[in-house]
């Protein structure tokens, strides 16, 4: 029982801006969960049955994936327990989510093929570069993330926003904005 409480405390500390050294003994449970997730994701990617994919993802994620949400394989995640996915979400082929810092995807979001969402980064200082700096990614309702886009740690993509194909988003995207480029910049406002 004591070990379980220790593991819960370890997991609760993860989503923060403080550098985390995952090689320390207190993070053994995280490495164990990563290994379990990788095994489950391998099973998911070998399936062509959307119901089975949904069932496996419901085990990987902290909450069950609702029936109105569709994920096309292959799909990749390193952890899964810090990803929340809403209703009527569509995630296309070959997406990759690194979620130790947390990923929230609200209802009605569309995510194109080969999108990368990472809530994990590394310090600039080479002495501690093998540590992680975590920053939650939040994609708000009805956003559309175009093919091949990359969303970096700490970014919020606003409601109804569009991220153009191939964009690299390193700053928050306002509601109703269309952003594109590397780094992504506001191209125009929807309805404006």
93 annotated active-site: no
Choosing from 13, 52, 122, 188, the catalytic residue is 122
Torsion of Cα atoms, 119 then 88 then 80 then 45, to 10°: -110
**Alpha carbon distance 83, 63 (integer Å):** 9
> What percent helix, strand, coil does the chain show, rounded to 5?
25, 25, 50
The Cα angle at residue 158 between residues 190 and 96, in degrees rounded to 5: 115
**Alpha carbon distance 168, 161 (integer Å):** 14
Catalytic residue positions, numbered: 122
């Amino acid at each position: 029982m004591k070990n379980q409480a220790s593991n819960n405390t370890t997991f609760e500390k993860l989503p923060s801006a403080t550098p985390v050294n995952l090689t320390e003994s207190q993070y053994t449970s995280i490495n164990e969960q990563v290994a379990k997730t990788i095994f489950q994701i391998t099973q998911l990617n070998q399936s062509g049955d959307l119901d089975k994919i949904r069932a496996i993802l419901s085990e990987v994620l902290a909450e069950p994936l609702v029936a109105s949400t569709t994920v096309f394989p292959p799909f990749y995640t390193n952890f899964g327990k810090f990803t929340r996915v809403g209703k009527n979400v569509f995630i296309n082929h070959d997406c990759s989510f690194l979620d130790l810092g947390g990923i929230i995807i609200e209802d009605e979001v569309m995510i194109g093929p080969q999108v990368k969402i990472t809530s994990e980064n590394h310090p600039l200082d080479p002495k501690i570069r093998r540590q992680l700096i975590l920053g939650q990614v939040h994609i708000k309702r009805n956003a559309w993330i175009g093919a091949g886009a990359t969303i970096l740690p700490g970014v919020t993509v606003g409601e109804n926003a569009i991220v153009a194909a191939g964009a690299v988003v390193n700053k928050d995207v306002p509601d109703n904005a269309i952003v594109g480029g590397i780094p992504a910049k506001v191209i125009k406002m929807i309805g404006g």
